[in-house]
Amino acid sequence: MKPIIREARPEDRPFIEEIAKLTWEGEDYLARVFDSWVKDGNFYVLELEGKAIGTAKLTILPDKVGWLEGLRVHPSYRKRGFGRLIQNFMLHRGKELAEKGVINALEFATYFLNKESIAMAKKDGFKVVKRYYALGKPVKEVKPSKPSNSTISSLEELEYTDYIPVGWKFVHKVPEALEWLKKKAVVKECNGTKFMVPKDSESAFVPFRISKDYVSKALPCMAHEALSQNQKYIEIMVPEENEEALEPLRELGFEVWDNCKEPNALVFRKVLS
């Protein structure tokens, strides 16, 4: 039986949960976002012999960006070309949306060790446009404190330039991003600081400013939120241009994942004509 690619359906959940359990040592976010992704649309599965063995999602972001995420293949079916099959389908889907004027580019982010995905992306014409340091600090090292709910009234509150990190999504800092953030992220306030938590994706925290003092004040409340989501680490993204903040953040107990000396989270972009 030949594999088919189709829209994900609610009954695919058991297969998706199985893939998630076998990805990133069981810490994959795919199962958590399954319902919201099905509702949002442009969420696809690769079906083989009645079983969903692969996934991919295209999410529409501000500034007409088609964001690619959730590309997975069940470990038992890897090295058989299924990843390339899904990737080709998503590229075709992106071109269809571009022809309709819905998007004008495809983007995605990946970890620097994901060599196979990076090689495939470069072959398809994607280029690195932004680089970040992904840092983590064990939650158990912080005494948690409950934050208060807050709001974001202006993009100027965010000390980021062209991209705003929202978990492992990276959103263009354009006027329409403000309303998108209000819908897709929860804003918390703590000791005079603010930070965001994505509503329906992998939950890296987004402090409104990147400095030792600011992050230090936000840490107890980020720890509270991390514990509420059964996370072992408080993860934040530091833009490459804020590299000078790394050492002060290390003094707070943060470490760059895998002790990488270079940025380890890469944002790729492919313009669609």
Tens digits of residue pLDDT in 20-46? 888 766 667 788 889 989 999 999 999
pTM exceeding 0.75: yes
Which of the listed CATH numbers 1.10.260.40, 3.90.950.10, 3.40.630.30, 3.90.1300.10 matches domain 4-103? 3.40.630.30
CB 249 within 8 A of CB 235: no
What's the count of helices (H) and strands (E) in the chain, helices before strands?
7, 15
Question: What is the CATH number assigned to the segment(s) 131-265?
Answer: 3.40.630.30
Per-residue pLDDT tens listing for the chain (273 residues): 789 999 999 999 999 888 888 876 666 778 888 998 999 999 999 999 899 999 999 999 999 999 999 898 988 888 888 989 999 999 999 999 999 999 999 999 999 998 888 999 999 999 999 999 999 999 999 999 999 999 999 999 999 999 999 988 999 999 999 999 999 999 999 999 999 999 876 678 999 999 999 999 999 999 999 998 888 899 999 999 999 999 999 999 999 999 889 999 999 999 997
Q: Output the CA–CA distances (angstroms, integers) from residue 267 to 87, 173, 249, in the order listed.
A: 17, 14, 22
Q: Answer yes or no: same fold for 4-103 and 131-265.
A: yes
Report, in this order, helix, strand and coil percent for the chain, each rounded to 5.
35, 35, 30
pLDDT digits (tens, 9 = 90+) for 188-220: 999 999 999 998 766 789 999 999 999 999 999
What are the CA-CA distances from residue 108 to residues 15, 61, 160, 250, 254 (Å)?
A: 24, 11, 18, 27, 25
The Cα–Cα gap between 242 and 254 comes to 15
Alpha-carbon separation of residue 58 from 68, 100, 114 (angstroms): 5, 15, 19
Q: pLDDT tens digit string along 147-159?
A: 999 999 999 999 9
According to the model, what pLDDT value does residue 27 have? 67
Which pLDDT does position 202 carry in this prediction? Answer: 63
Write down the domain spans for the chain: 4-103, 131-265
